[in-house]
Amino acid sequence: MSDPRNILEVEHLCQYFTTGSRGKRMTVRAVDDVSFSVRAAETFGLVGESGCGKTTTGRTIIRLYDPTSGTVRFDGREISGKMNRELSAYLAKNMAMIFQDPIESLNPRMTIEEIIGEGLMLRGMSRSEVHQAVIDMLHKVGLTEEHATRYPHEFSGGQRQRIGIARAMILKPRLIIADEPVSALDVSIQAQVINLLNDLQSEMGLTILFIAHNLSVVKYFSDRIGVMYYGKMVEIAPSRELYEHPLHPYTRALLSAIPQPNPLTERHRQRIDYIPERDHDYSKERPEMREVTPDHFVYCSSSEFRRFQSELGIS
Amino acid sequence: MSEQSSLSQPSNGQECVLSVRDLSVSFRAYGGIVRAVRGVSFDLHRGETLAIVGESGSGKSVSIKSVMGILPSNASVDGGEILYDGMDLTKVDEAKMHEIRGHRIGLIFQDPLSALNPIMRVGKQIMEVLEKRGIGRKEARERALSLMQDVGIPEAEKRIDQYPFQFSGGMRQRIVIAIALAGDPEILICDEPTTALDVTVQAKILELINQIKEKRHLSVLFITHDLGVVAQMADRIAVMYAGRIVETGTSEEIFFDPRHPYTWALLSSMPDLETYERLETIPGTPPNMIYPPKGDAFAARNRYALKIDFEREPPMFRITDTHMAATWLLHPKAPHMEMPVSLAHRIDRMKEAAKHV
């Protein structure tokens, strides 16, 4: 199934967490048999509600967690196996992460230059080389040289997120995992950060895994989108296709709930509810990921698959 | 178009339940005095939903906290009045405020978990309000049950004796709404009630607030930064920037005929589902309100700014009986400026979409 366009391939990834003590053990299947692939230089959006496993998926890929099972391949190399020094260095070289909360994710005792340049220092670059690289990066993200000696608390939320982006980008990674990078920001600042990510992506040829819950932003920013629900990937499609022809009932429910800034249509909006017990009958047929139209995958049973095809006018 | 210095005209004779006049609030902070609210005036009419929209630091939450009398101790009301039921709420004492708050004016907070007492059963938290009104324990429990049913909590008999941590985010917000309703208020103030919730849960809570409003003839003051939510909830909208209301009008006027450059910027900076072009951004950041800028506070970030914007603060210009905006662009002598092309296109798209419903 390996497609040469893919830079990241996730297959049957599971990430379970166990909680509780002896006798009362509980297993949470945060990510449950999730498969998808991301093509080089595209933005893949991962959406879903809180607790659906989108953040866990991102963190497992970059190995903040050890996966329970499944494989993750980056550029053909398996990165989900046993951790060692060499793999850790490989991950650090190729992937970086941008976090949601720009305050929590910056060390308050380090200057901006130390924060952004830390990765380069660890790679053994000299102080003056690091300094120059940091200054260049600051300009790229719309900050200035004088910001280098300041501390995180001196910056606004949007500026801090720019610092987080600079820290991720300076290592020239090939894949960025951006976990809700704009949801903590004000509307006008969100647009600045989204434009910045767009510019950097086209300039550096980056691949971005964009994790978010704001569906309008995801649609705008992503080439393809994966929708997650309770640890499962339920639908994957190119972003325009997903919004024009949502097939999985959960995707439909999710799209119907987005408030649109249009008072005339809002007053007549029909919201769709998703009730798994009502919407699916999996007692006889097991659901699996099926390709309904080229590039449009839905987690469904074979009878649902036939129904989706007839809805789209394919026999 | 004539200059208008206050917004006091009750439009088309509607009864006004709450009237804020020229309110100014400041905070004593480490670096100096922060002028959070600088002369805000608005009226809340009976049975309507007025949405106050603005970014963080615009003063929208501070305005609401002044109405509720829950400003922190380093804040002071420097001027203006809040007229409710023949009283000026900036002048009444805490004992009187205690009677009003939670009983005649209910409040729903952004974060339902921190609004609830974690070690008290939810039923008890609802009953507390009822018992305070002199309702006996047994009846209070009955009423708490029916309130929980009203706000859509299934199996209320079982849930009434549970603790907040046993509820999901959406259900917790329903409990907070039930507590607000227990006081039988006539005004409901919602401070970003769905910001912490998922989009499908948000949709249900917004529907619930609208239902309750109809059923109980409430007047709602709704604070948010989400324009989609505003479109769904508001009859009228006030847009705030740097401690002032810069534009106010009916929902249709603000969305389809915005006049203030800040409103233009706000409307065009978020992608909707039909946006493919590069996003319009507002350059820079909001001003530091320890040193409020001279003239129009938005001038430095405004690409339509005129020279006078940096010198004199614009008054409110009247566009229709309900629509007003504080920008010199509306002055008869100002050069004619059009809104950004991408926004004009978006408005056309919105009007087109509305034809198909």
Summarize pLDDT for A197-223 with one digit per residue, the tens.
999 899 988 999 999 888 888 999 999
Q: Which of B39, B14, B189, B15 is CA-nearest to residue B100?
A: B189
Instruction: Count CA atoms within 13 Å of residue B217 on its CB side.
Output: 3
A244: contact with B, CB 8 A cutoff: no
Query: What mean pLDDT comes out for the span A241-257?
Result: 93
Residue A242 confidence (pLDDT) above 50: yes
Summarize pLDDT for B140-173 with one digit per residue, the tens.
999 999 999 999 999 999 999 999 999 988 899 9
Residue B2 confidence (pLDDT) above 50: no
Summarize pLDDT for B314-335 with one digit per residue, the tens.
999 999 999 999 999 999 999 9
Determine the pLDDT at residue B10: 45
Query: What mean pLDDT comes out for the span B56-70?
Result: 90
Determine the pLDDT at residue A315: 62
B contact test, residue of A188, A190, A230 with most B CBs within 10 A: A188
For residue A194, list chain B residues with Cβ-Cβ distance below 8 A. Answer: 271, 279
Query: What mean pLDDT comes out for the span A219-239?
Result: 94
Question: Do residues A190 and A178 lie in contact, with contact meaning Cβ atoms separated by under 8 Å?
Answer: no
Query: What mean pLDDT comes out for the span B76-103?
Result: 92
Helix (H) or strand (E) holding A18: strand A6-19
Determine the pLDDT at residue B132: 87
Which of the four pLDDT bands, split at 50, 70 and 90, describes residue B252? Answer: very high
Residue A226 confidence (pLDDT) above 70: yes
SS3 A48: coil
Determine the pLDDT at residue B38: 95
Determine the pLDDT at residue A252: 94
Q: Please count the helices (runs of H) and the strands (runs of E) in chain B.
A: 12, 13
Contact: B55, A192; criterion CB under 8 Å = no
Contact: A188, B279; criterion CB under 8 Å = no
Side chain identity, residue A263: P
Radius of gyration (Cα) for chain A, nearest Å?
21
Delimit the domains of chain B by residue range. 14-234, 252-355
Determine the pLDDT at residue B109: 85
Q: Could you tell me the strand order of the sheet in which A296-300 lies?
A: A95-98, A175-179, A207-212, A43-47, A224-229, A232-238, A296-300, A288-293
Determine the pLDDT at residue B283: 82
Residue A21 confidence (pLDDT) above 90: no
Residue B4 confidence (pLDDT) above 50: no
Residue A290 confidence (pLDDT) above 70: yes
Residue B357 confidence (pLDDT) above 80: no
Q: Which of A75, A71, A52 is CA-nearest to residue A60?
A: A71
> Would you state the structure tokens that stand for residue A214, as one six-digit string?
């704001």
Q: Which residue has the tokens 């324990």?
A: B137
A266: contact with B, CB 8 A cutoff: yes
Question: Do residues B12 and B1 lie in contact, with contact meaning Cβ atoms separated by under 8 Å?
Answer: no
Determine the pLDDT at residue A2: 67
Determine the pLDDT at residue B275: 80
Summarize pLDDT for A116-150 with one digit per residue, the tens.
999 999 888 999 999 999 999 999 898 888 899 99
Neighbours of A188 (CB within 10 A): 25
Delimit the domains of chain A by residue range. 6-245, 252-315
Which fold is adopted by the domain A6-245? Rossmann fold (3.40.50)
Contacts of B139 (CB under 8 A, 6+ apart): B130
The chain B residue lying nearest A215, using CA atoms, is B273
Q: Which of A57, A79, A55 is CA-nearest to residue A7?
A: A79
Closest Cβ opposite residue B198 in set A189, A213, A219:
A213
Determine the pLDDT at residue B9: 46
On average, the pLDDT of chain B sits at 90
Which of the four pLDDT bands, split at 50, 70 and 90, describes residue B126? Answer: very high
Neighbours of A67 (CB within 10 A): 22
Residue A110 confidence (pLDDT) above 80: yes
Share of chain A above pLDDT 90, in %: 64
Residue A259 confidence (pLDDT) above 50: yes
Residue A28 confidence (pLDDT) above 50: yes
Q: How far apart are CA B296 and CA B244, in angstroms?
A: 10
Terminal CA-to-CA distance of chain B, rounded, Å? 34
Query: What mean pLDDT comes out for the span B9-25?
Result: 81
SS3 B198: coil
A286: contact with B, CB 8 A cutoff: no
Q: Which residue has the tokens 């009398």?
A: B69
SS3 A265: helix
Is domain B14-234 annotated with CATH 3.30.70.2190? Answer: no
For residue A263, list chain B residues with Cβ-Cβ distance below 8 A. Answer: 231-232, 234, 251-252, 255
Which of the four pLDDT bands, split at 50, 70 and 90, describes residue B278? Answer: confident
Query: What mean pLDDT comes out for the span A146-170?
Result: 91
Query: What mean pLDDT comes out for the span B113-133?
Result: 92
> Would you state the structure tokens that stand for residue A251, as one six-digit string?
């995707």
A43: contact with B, CB 8 A cutoff: no
Query: What mean pLDDT comes out for the span A160-173?
Result: 92
Greater pLDDT, B300 or A103? B300
Degrees to nearest 5, angle at CA A153 with A149 and A154: 55
Greater pLDDT, A188 or A83? A83
ipTM score assigned to the predicted complex = 0.81
Determine the pLDDT at residue B206: 93
Residue A76 confidence (pLDDT) above 70: yes
pTM above 0.80, yes or no: yes
Query: How big is chain B, counted in residues?
Result: 357
Which of the four pLDDT bands, split at 50, 70 and 90, describes residue A38? Answer: very high
